[in-house]
Amino acid sequence: MAQEVNLLEQLKHYFGFDAFKGDQEAIIRNLMAGNDTFVLMPTGGGKSLCYQLPSLIMDGTAIVVSPLIALMKNQVDVINGLTEEDGVAHFLNSSLNRAAINQVEQDVHSGKTKLLYVAPESLNKEDNLAFFTSFKISFYAIDEAHCISEWGHDFRPEYRNIRPTIDRIACEQHVDKVPVIALTATATDKVRTDIKKSLGIMDAPDFKSSFNRPNLYYEVRPKVSEEDTDSQIIRFLRQHEGKSGIVYCLSRKKVEELSKKLQLNGFKAAPYHAGLDTELRTKTQDDFLKEELDVIVATIAFGMGIDKPDVRFVIHYDIPKSLEGYYQETGRAGRDDGEGICIAFYSPKDLKKLEKFMENKGEAEKEIGRQLLEETKAYAETSVCRRRFLLHYFGEEYPKPDCGNCDNCKHPQKPRDAQDALVEVLSAVRAVKENFDQPYIIDFVKGRATDNIVRHGHDQLPEFGGGAKINEEMPGIWHPVIRQAMISHYIRKDVENYGLLKLTPEGLGYLKSPKPFMVVLDREFDDVEETSDGGTSALDENLHALLKKLRKDVARRHNLPPYVIFQDASLTLMATSYPTCMEELLQIQGVGQGKARKFGKPFVDLIKQYCEDNGIQRTDMMRVISLPNKSLKKLKIIELIDKRVPLDEIANAQGCDFDELLDEIETIVNSGMKVNLNYYLDDENVMDPDEMEDIYEYFRGSESDDIDKAIDEVDIYDDDHGLTAEEKARLVLIKFLSEEAN
């Protein structure tokens, strides 16, 4: 009991808390008893205290291994602020000069320093071995321990060398054992096993806290274009003026562009990425903590180790490479249990770009990356409760069917019975001996005789094509059925073995005795459903329905598909912003001078009448100030197209890849401007004329401009040394829209 009082007294003395949270006390007692310890605790759960408090109490100096040099300073400042003495915490890394290193060594040897933060590279450096063996080490804390695993979201090879270094230090000091505590905020069972094996702590008890953060609101929005996404973020920030938040982007270029745009629009924002010098990054970090900045636009490096409890929103401009990374980054919101809004923008194109980044990696790394991307895609597109989906991914069950605090729960889709589809999937998994992954199983139940299926002889099995009739009635059923069958424990995915699907005992039982199985289909990302804030839709559903009907009538009069008149994203914004004159209509994303003149009048007339009939008091339409260089870039592209420069040469000249160039041209055409690509497409070395005509006629008769559907319907194939199927479809769609709509 005396020890318990002492621990609570120390907690109160150093941190001012009256009680421990969750497993904190049990973790600290286990570590202080000299035992290895594994801690899985979500961001905001009080993970750092689990090693900070015992380090202040125990004899010797604790070594804390942390992956990011730039963010150690924050942790050190926090600890040094707890006591009146200087030097209780230090960091040792490559940013220090010789004088600073001497001061660190002096404070450690004097016994003043209780925590020493080091990068894994510093710990493993041969030159530092003599120093680490010259003082008593109380324990090792391995923070962000997921960096050890290739299945984690931030693999760092240097983390693999931590255990050999610890053993060398112990050998030099003639010490039997110094306890190790490994801590991470996100880890699947596979990552957890990797961590424990690499650190040699397989017998360490697991302290796993719940991953559920009830105060966090999760939402995924369609990413229609960069301009639209920028505008949505600016609109969101205006509605949350003065609140702290982080916007994550994958590229440094986008970080710089967006932060400048936010500054132009009056927000206290700054960029943060590894390309900036250390001094500027440190200042940005400090300004954010001191609330001199409201918004940080950052690559994923920002936020690790930042002790800011009142981050009110985390926005992902690009969908992340893994759910581990996504969960850790969203976990930086609402750490004080207050409001935490987590919004991610998603486009299937982004996944394809991420896949391209992996092309030069080894086969094993590519396979791991592909599986992690598949899980991210599943999360983005699912219509089930996002909280339930996330918790299941991390091996935790959410007890309720919905949480009421994510976009899918606030705007639920109607479930449908998929009993027959589930039976076909389970039968297929059993028929192929549980040796194949999800895409293979879906091809099998559809009856698609792919080369892979034929090679294995599975097209001869009686179960092959068993779901063909279901596929005709509900073509989008298979992915949601498999994902929701996993959540219901009928199927499990063997992540260590290429994501092969396996039947569980419950799945075998279901085959013997099927029963209704209700599922919700995945969300369609070509239909934009924009929301204005944490879940409250700004979309006027009645006006939206009227605008869609008007679009259909206008399309019929012009003998065109409806999407050619105005895209869904434009209609959504019209039903959100209520433009009642041509000048306001031109502020809508995807509406340029050409489209406004050709099709706009009946739309603004309808909106004006609707506002009068329903007594709607409009606020002034928000004006977003854009960066001038964006429009200059588009003008340059138009100029080069007018000069009939081949598109691949234009991409090189603009310093972008071919997909990015097509993004720019699509934006130009969608705004209503005519672009003539015939000089490029008429070259038979670029595209077969018959294939181009087939694609063109498909878009003329199709109700949708979905590229993937076009590829499937027209049977478009990649050329061996030319355009991909996606590039062909996109180019012909640009040609079609330019000629027919603008």
Q: Facing residues of 37 across strands? A: 181
Question: At 204, is the secondary structure helix, strand, or coil?
Answer: coil
Tell me how far apart the alpha carbons of residues 92 and 351 are, in angstroms, rounded to a whole number: 38
- Please check whether residue 285 is in contact with residue 655, taking contact to mean a CB–CB distance below 8 angstroms: no
Q: Domains for the chain: give ranges and CATH numbers.
A: 7-208 (3.40.50.300), 216-410 (3.40.50.300), 416-519 (1.10.10.10), 541-614 (1.10.150.80), 628-741 (1.10.10.1390)
Token pair 């110094």 is found at 178
Q: How many CA atoms lie within 13 A of 232 on its CB side?
A: 32
CA dist 303 → 152, 306, 328 (Å): 17, 5, 9
Tell me how far apart the alpha carbons of residues 199 and 142 are, in angstroms, rounded to a whole number: 9
Q: What is the dihedral of CA 293, 299, 302, 303, to 10 degrees?
A: 100
CA neighbor of 710 nearest in space, from 695, 693, 688: 695
Token pair 């977003």 is found at 624
Q: Which amino acid is present at 699?
A: F
Element (H, E) at 54: helix 49-57
Q: What is the secondary structure of 191-254 as a DSSP string?
A: HHHHHHHHHT-TTSPEEE-----TTEEEEEEE---HHHHHHHHHHHHHHTTT-EEEEE-SSHHH
Tokens coding 460 = 């001869």
Is the whole model's pTM more than 0.75, yes or no?
A: no
Tell me how far apart the alpha carbons of residues 540 and 261 are, in angstroms, rounded to a whole number: 28
Tell me how far apart the alpha carbons of residues 119 and 376 are, in angstroms, rounded to a whole number: 29
Q: What is the pLDDT of residue 527?
A: 39
Tokens coding 721 = 């040394």
Strand order in 311-316's β-sheet?
216-222, 340-346, 311-316, 244-248, 295-298, 269-272
Q: Facing residues of 45 across strands? A: none
- Please check whether residue 232 is in contact with residue 258, taking contact to mean a CB–CB distance below 8 angstroms: no
Element (H, E) at 416: strand 416-417
CA neighbor of 572 nearest in space, from 604, 538, 616, 599: 538
Phi/psi of residue 645, nearest 5 degrees? -80, 130
Give the rounded distance of the alpha carbon of 246 from its chain centre.
Answer: 13
Tell me how far apart the alpha carbons of residues 553 and 678 are, in angstroms, rounded to a whole number: 30
Give the rounded distance of the alpha carbon of 226 from its chain centre.
Answer: 16
C-alpha distance across the termini of the chain, in Å? 80
- Give 10-residue mean pLDDT values along the chain (742 residues): 64 86 92 94 80 93 83 76 82 84 92 92 88 94 84 70 92 90 82 88 90 93 82 88 93 91 90 86 88 90 67 94 87 90 90 78 76 88 93 87 91 90 95 92 93 92 93 89 92 80 94 92 60 47 90 90 86 85 82 83 94 76 58 80 90 87 86 84 86 90 84 84 88 89 72
- Please check whether residue 487 is in contact with residue 384, taking contact to mean a CB–CB distance below 8 angstroms: yes
Tell me how far apart the alpha carbons of residues 664 and 405 are, in angstroms, rounded to a whole number: 36
Tally Cβ neighbours within 10 Å of residue 176. 6
Tell me how far apart the alpha carbons of residues 80 and 86 are, in angstroms, rounded to a whole number: 6
- Please check whether residue 444 is in contact with residue 428, taking contact to mean a CB–CB distance below 8 angstroms: yes
CA dist 461 → 450, 475, 514, 708 (Å): 14, 22, 22, 29
Element (H, E) at 123: helix 120-124
Q: What is the pLDDT of residue 301?
A: 60
Phi/psi of residue 588, nearest 5 degrees? -75, 135
Tokens coding 308 = 């800011």
Q: Facing residues of 406 across strands? A: 218
CA neighbor of 619 nearest in space, from 532, 712, 710: 532
Tally Cβ neighbours within 10 Å of residue 439. 14
Element (H, E) at 312: strand 311-316
Tell me how far apart the alpha carbons of residues 373 and 419 are, in angstroms, rounded to a whole number: 28
Q: Facing residues of 222 across strands? A: 346
- Please check whether residue 482 is in contact with residue 443, taking contact to mean a CB–CB distance below 8 angstroms: no
Tell me how far apart the alpha carbons of residues 138 and 135 are, in angstroms, rounded to a whole number: 10
- Please check whether residue 201 is in contact with residue 182, taking contact to mean a CB–CB distance below 8 angstroms: yes
Tokens coding 430 = 């059993």
Q: Which amino acid is present at 734?
A: I
Q: What is the pLDDT of residue 634?
A: 80
Give the rounded distance of the alpha carbon of 118 from its chain centre.
Answer: 29
Those residues whose C-beta lies under 8 Å from the C-beta of residue 451, and which sit 6 or more positions away, are none
Element (H, E) at 183: strand 180-184
